[in-house]
Structure 1
Amino acid sequence: MGKVPYQPHIRPEAVVILGAGRYRDRYSNRERLSAASLERVAGAVEQAPEELPILVSGGRVHSGERLAESDLMAALLEEEFSTPVTWREDCSRTTAENAVNSADILHSANVRSVFLATHWWHMPRAAEVFSRAGLEVQPLPVGSAGELMPRAQTGVGRWLPNAVSQLRTQVYWREILARTWYRWSSLPSIRKC
């Protein structure tokens, strides 16, 4: 997976946090952010400069979802982190739609460069598509490669399949295929809800 380098010439004017899914809690029947979404929000709060405005991006992917993912992220930021959210992009279902819709909102506010908060394994594809949508991107990666690395094993044990290796392989292949798809396809139109 390609690295997205730090770009010192870019002076971000805002922070964009990408959603990473949600679920419906079977006990309370409330919609909740996935662990990956929580990690992205917390990582952005921890790493981004406090004075920059924030855009949260994520819509309703499946029918039956009541709240946009951006609404769940905004509530978390405002209620738990006491961090205001300036913009909510609430129509996107894919990373490409996140990019196009977020760029439209930000360009309307004369914002041209952003810190982009997403997982390290998602960053190359996300940064590439946000750049294609007309934003200068300074990566704000969440997590590290160590989260997908299996514990060191010796002997024959290192050649046996394990759950961590299968997860890592799935993530790498999904990102490689999605990045290839995005390179060969045109950006989607702005999606209205």
Structure 2
Amino acid sequence: MFSLTVLWHRLLGALLLPPLLNLLPIVLGAVLVRRWQRMGRLLLAFGVVLTYLLSIPQTAIWLARDLERYPVIRTADLQAVDAIVVLAGGKRPAAEYGGNAPGSDTLVRLRYGAYLARNSGKPVLVTGGSPVGGESEGAVMASAMRDDYGIRPRWVESRSNTTLENAQFSAQMLKAAGVRRIALVSQGWHLARAVPFFEQQGLQVLPAPTSLIRYDGEGVFLYIPASGAMAECRTLLSERLSRLFYRIRPAG
């Protein structure tokens, strides 16, 4: 059964995030331009400029600046933790594999989590439920980590549908096993929200960011529109909306 909370978040995001965020002014401007020419032109221009800004690498870098607050860790830092926790980031139907596979965000987190586990020998917990129904993301992650990276997670948390629930349900499993100090793996922009949730559960957290917002080239290349930059701008805006949601409705 899918999560109504996640459905609500996605519907709200569809209205407040690209592509509707920048398409609506263009559509509205086209409708109004004949009757209210100045207003229509302003809306058209605003929509076009916003579309450009939300498609360039430099905007993604600006949006990520205060979210990516944690530095890359050293493998030696893992000696101080008891376990590695890898957060889910979605799954996808994968007919070529005969089932589900990790989504792109989940895949980069799994790869880094496996790298850290292999180099430290620390046990791994993967966490993710079924926010849109079907097989849990935790189960998909466990299979991929075992089959693709040769690492069998010690714990698989598969009830959570939000980052807050990731923290709540994972903490229950970890504390029952005597774990108090963890390395938390996700994208840097996501850890800004996820780390406090895990700390609120009484865990000591070492942030382990991966897939930081970086681009090859500099100068003029950062102002050339790219599909990857457009996707990252949407993701970063979505994360900011999520942070605003939890400020309005505190976690607890």
Q: Which runs of 5+ in 2 are unaligned?
A: 1-65
Counterparts of 1:1-193 in structure 2, within 5 Å, are 1-2=66-67, 3-4=69-70, 11-26=80-95, 30-48=99-117, 49-63=119-133, 65=134, 67-146=135-214, 149=215, 152=218, 154=220, 158=223, 161-187=225-251
- The answer for unaligned runs of 5 or more in structure 1 is 189-193
- For the 8 Å contact 2:70–2:209, the answer to whether it is kept is no
Partner SS state of residue 17, structure 1:
strand
For 2:70 and 2:104, the matched residues in 1 are separated by: 23
TM-superposed CA distance for 1:73, in Å, is 1.0
The 8 Å contact of residues 103 and 135 in structure 1, kept in 2 or not, is answered as yes
**Could you tell me how far apart the structure 1 residues matched to 2:101 and 2:191 are?**
23
Residues 28 and 168 of structure 1: is their aligned pair in 2 closer, same or farther, counting only changes over 3 Å? closer
- Return the alpha-carbon distance in structure 2 between the equivalents of residues 162 and 87 of structure 1: 39
Superposed displacement of residue 124, structure 1: 0.9
TM-score if structure 1 supplies the norm length?
0.81
CA RMSD for the aligned pairs?
2.8
| Alpha-carbon distance between aligned partners in 1 of 2:149 and 2:193, rounded to the nearest angstrom | 28
Which whole-Å CA distance do the structure 2 matches of 1:80 and 1:72 have between them?
12
Q: Is the 8 A contact 1:58 1:90 kept in 2?
A: yes
- Taking structure 2 as the reference length, the TM-score comes to 0.63
Q: CA contact under 8 A between 1:100 and 1:187: conserved in structure 2?
A: no
Q: What is the distance in 2 between the residues matched to 1:187 and 1:112?
A: 21
Aligned equivalent of 2:31: none
Q: State the percentage of identical aligned residues.
A: 26
Task: Please list the CA deviations of residues 142-166 of structure 1 after superposition, one character each: whole Å capped at 9, or x if unmatched.
Answer: 11221xx4854639x93x6543443
One-letter amino acid of the counterpart of residue 124, structure 1: A
